[in-house]
Amino acid sequence: MSTPRLEVRLDLIEHNARTVVERLRPLGIAVSGVTKASLGDPLIASAMLAGGVSSLSDSRIENIERLREGGITGEIMLIRSPMLSQTDRVVDAADVSMNTEMRVLEGLSRSAWRRGRTHGVIVMVELGDLREGVMPDEAEAMISRTQDLRSLVIRGIGANLACQSGVIPDAANMTVLSDLACSIERSLGLHLDIVSGGNSANLGWAMDGRRLVGRVNHLRLGESILLGRDPVDRSPIAGLDAGAFTVVGEVIEAKAKPPSPWGSVGQTAFGEPLDLQDRAEGRSRIIVALGRQDLDVDGITAPPPLEVLGASSDHLILGTTLRPPPVGSEVRVAPAYGTLLRAMTSPSVSVEHLEDASGAPSPLRHRVHQSDW
C-alpha cells in the first residue's frame, strides 16, 4: 500500500454511530450522520447507516451527489444554506436543505416545481454563535411565507452553535429553540416534524441526564461519530472509539543528532520561531515523508514514545528517546478534525477503507441501507 495514506476503520465508525444513536434514542432524538469531513464518502456513509443513523447530512452539493453516485438512496440533508446558483442540483440530490434566505427558498421552490417534485426545508435560527440563521423573532414569518411556496415542504427548524464563535449549546439556548418550535406550531397551525438542535457539541447538553430536551428531536453528528471526540474541548467521548482514522507515512531518515541546531539562526521555512527550549538530549530524530503539502500537520498527534517536533512542506519531524523506527518502516499518527478534512481533499494522500482490525481492505461493497426516517 502506498504512503502517505489515510486508513479508515469502517467498523469503528459503525460502532460510534450505533453508540450515539442508542444513547439518544431514549431522549427521542434522531441522528443524522454528517459526512462532510469525508467529502461524502459512500463507504463511510454506509457505515453510519449500518450503525442506525436515520439520515445523512453534508454541507456541499458535490458531496451529496457523490453519495448518490455511490448508491446511497436514503434521506440526505444539505446542511449549508444552498447557493442560489445551485438550486436545481440541490432539489435533484438532496431531500431536505437548511435555509435562511427567502430568495433561496423561492429558487428551490421553482427548481422543485419544474421537476415536478417537492423539497423539504428546515429554517435555521440564530441562537448566538453568529453563523447561519434568522433571528428567532423572524422565523415564524419566514415559515409562514414558505407555506405559500407550493413545491416546498416545511420539515422543521434548526440551529447550529459552537462553530463560528464557540458558543456552547446549553439549557438556555436549547429552550429558546424548543419554545420557538411550540409557538410556531401554535400560531401557524402546523407540525414541525424536525427540531434539529445542532452538532456534536450538543452531546454534552443532551447527555446531561438532569434535564429534558424539550421539543429538540434531532442532531447532526459528524466529529463525534468519526473521531469519537467532543468538539467543545476535543476530549474523547466515553464509549466511543477515537481511532477510526490513522495517517500512515514512511520513514525516510532516522538518526541520533545533537539536540540543538547550530549556526546563526534566522526564520524557519514557515516563519515560526524555533523553540530552543524544547531540545532534550539523547533523542533520535525521525523524518517521515509527509508534510504541509499533504495535509494539516498541526493537527497530528504521534503515539508515545514518538513526539512531533515540527514539519515543513514535505517533512514531518518526530523525536523519540527510544530506538527509532527504521528507514522504510511505516509510522502511524492520529489526525484531528481539520487534518482529517484536509487529508481527504489531498491528491497526495490515498484513502484505504478497512473492514476491521485485521487490516483487510474493504471490498468495494456498498452496504447501502434504506433510511427508515
Ligand X SMILES: *Cc1c(COP(=O)(O)O)cnc(C)c1O
- Residues in contact with ligand X by the rule CB under 6 A: 34, 36, 59, 79, 160, 199-201, 220-224, 231
Task: Tell me the closest approach of the beta carbon of residue 230 to ligand X, in angstroms.
Answer: 9
The grid cell for 340 is 482529517
Is the CB of 74 or the CB of 249 nearer to ligand X?
A: 74
Nearer to ligand X, 19 or 59 (CB): 59
Between 113 and 373, CB nearer to ligand X: 373
Candidates 320, 318, 352; CA nearest to 250 is: 318
Characterize the bridge pairing of strands 194-198 and 152-158.
parallel
Q: With left for phi above 0 and alpha for psi between -120 and 50, is residue 239 left, alpha or beta?
A: left
Q: Which residue is nearest to ligand X (CB)?
A: 222
Q: What is the DSSP letter of 157?
A: E
Nearer to ligand X, 195 or 309 (CB): 195
Q: Residue 53 or residue 91: which is nearer to ligand X going by CB?
A: 53
Instruction: Compute the distance between CA of residue 155 and CA of residue 83 in angstroms, rounded to an integer.
Output: 20
Three-state SS annotation for 8-71: EEHHHHHHHHHHHHHHHHHHCCEEEEECHHHCCCHHHHHHHHHCCCCEEEECCHHHHHHHHHCC
Alpha carbon distance 169, 228 (integer Å): 18
Q: How far is CA 191 from CA 35, 78, 137, 284, in A?
A: 28, 21, 18, 64
Nearest CA to 45 out of 36, 80, 229 is that of 36
* Among 218, 231, 126, 129, CA closest to 180: 126
At closest approach, how far in Å is the CB of 343 from ligand X? 16
To ligand X, the closest distance from the beta carbon of 366 in angstroms equals 23
Q: How far is the CB of 58 from ligand X (least distance, A)?
A: 9
To the nearest whole angstrom, how small is the minimum distance from the Cβ of residue 74 to ligand X? Answer: 18
Q: Which is nearer to ligand X, 136 or 144 (CB)?
A: 136
Q: How far is the CB of 76 from ligand X (least distance, A)?
A: 13
Strands (E), 173-283: 194-198, 218-221, 229-230, 235-236, 245-256
For the bound state, the minimum distance from the C-beta of residue 233 to ligand X, rounded and expressed in Å, comes to: 12
Pick 153 or 163: Cβ nearer ligand X? 163
User: Whose Cβ is closer to ligand X: residue 286's or residue 334's?
Assistant: 334
77 is written with which cell numbers? 440533508
Judged by beta carbon, residue 17 or residue 43, the one nearer ligand X is 17
Q: Distance between CA atoms of 82 and 64, rounded to whole angstroms?
A: 12
- Taking the complex as a whole, how short is the minimal distance between the CB of residue 205 and ligand X, in angstroms? 13
Minimal distance in Å, beta carbon 239 to ligand X? 16
Three-state DSSP at 237 gives: coil
Which residues on neighbouring strands pair with residue 353, listed in sequence order?
A: 8
